[in-house]
Amino acid sequence: MNIKRKLVTSLVSAGALIASNVYAAEDTIKVGVLHSLSGTMAISETTLKDTVLMLIEEQNKKGGLLGKQLEPVVVDPASNWPLFAEKAKELIDKDKVSAVFGCWTSVSRKSVLPVFEESDSILFYPVQYEGEESSKNVFYTGAAPNQQAIPAVDYLMNDIGVERWVLAGTDYVYPRTTNKILEAYLKSKGVAAEDIMINYTPFGHSDWQSIVSDVKKFGSAGKKTAVVSTINGDANVPFYKELGNQGISAEDIPVVAFSVGEEELSGMDTKPLVGHLAAWNYFMSIEAETNDKFISAWHDFTKDEKRVTNDPMEATYIGFNMWVKAVEKAGTTDSAAVQEAIIGISVPNLTGGYSSMMPNHHITKPVVIGEIQDDGQFGTVWETSGLVAGDAWSDYLEGSKDLISDWRKPLSCGNYNVKTAKCSGQNF
């Protein structure tokens, strides 16, 4: 009898423990983190994983969200674009996350897009990209071309007097589409086709000797030449090294990069790179109280005062805080309710102002061009006087210049044609 009672007691206790664990799991709000922690993009994406974890930790210290603690669910798609889709589906279907923060390359975002749309889930995408897209399930907190690429070209053209252009990129959708926009823009400004050189290399490309030699030759025609770089990931290290090897300084042929920030420079010898440029919406060196607090929190979290911050981290910070405010406003993590609540929400950015979520699911951002310093930081050489609203569709491409995106009801369309007064698709 005693044995039976002990057995029953044990079973009841075990059942209570299981129930308690289930309740505990249901009593958290799960947040997906979808960034490459291995492979060619780990150099950039690992930091964004850490950023999300820091933001979740800080939010939990404030009491969580809707009375619940946030629980991160981290996966590693390993710089493998099809694997991004598999991991996204796993986060949504198996882990039941309320939102996902992730992706860096546009090819990874394109890979996961159908997954988020089919499940009506939410992705916050924190990296500059090529535009030409607007999905009701994606919030684009990185720069669109009119918030980075176009202002960078204007600066080179108007302030430095550049007349010849090398558009160098990694061979995937972001560089190709961005360069298509830039080529059209340059030609609209009167630049001749022979003054535009376009080159693409694969991810992880390491042998830059002949390409840099071609750039050097192209720049010897007597016209001021610049490189507009959409080279991504760890290929930047040998690219900049080869520039130094061939004696190409920023005075000779300046490079303005859209994918090189403080994190990438932290692994390079920056002395030969001094004077080269990057166009972003944030630099670690920007003086603002919010930035000082963010850097301090980052150093405390990582326990490493040498860890740098960068633009995609700020975009992650903005997107995360927008999501929190939208959930609080909606009173639920339900995707449809959050999608509706988030439009118009403003949160502090790290440059001393506020960024707002626009009806096209892009945000307002300042544009800043910085010059590489020998300590691996950027010194600001140019910035917009105010915030720039991100355009989902380029004004310089046929088929795009007549499109707008507005996810508010009753339009609820990502590509509304203002000439035909038709929405050509539910998303893009």
What is the structure's pLDDT at 25? Answer: 47
Cβ atoms of 143 and 110 closer than 8 Å:
no
Mean pLDDT for the chain?
92
Q: Is the confidence at residue 378, as pLDDT, over 60?
A: yes
Residue count of the chain, please give it: 428
What is the structure's pLDDT at 425? Answer: 61
The tokens of 5 are what?
Answer: 């009672």
In the chain, the domains with their CATH numbers are 12-145+291-365 (3.40.50.2300), 146-270 (3.40.50.2300)
Q: Is the confidence at residue 16, as pLDDT, over 60?
A: no
| pLDDT tens digits, 25-83 | 469 999 999 999 999 999 899 999 999 999 999 999 999 999 999 999 999 999 999 99
Considering the entire predicted model, what is its pTM? 0.89
pLDDT tier at 353, thresholds 50, 70, 90? very high
| pLDDT tens digits, 157-210 | 999 999 999 999 999 999 999 999 999 999 999 999 999 999 999 999 999 999
What is the structure's pLDDT at 10? Answer: 46
Q: Is the confidence at residue 3, as pLDDT, over 60?
A: no
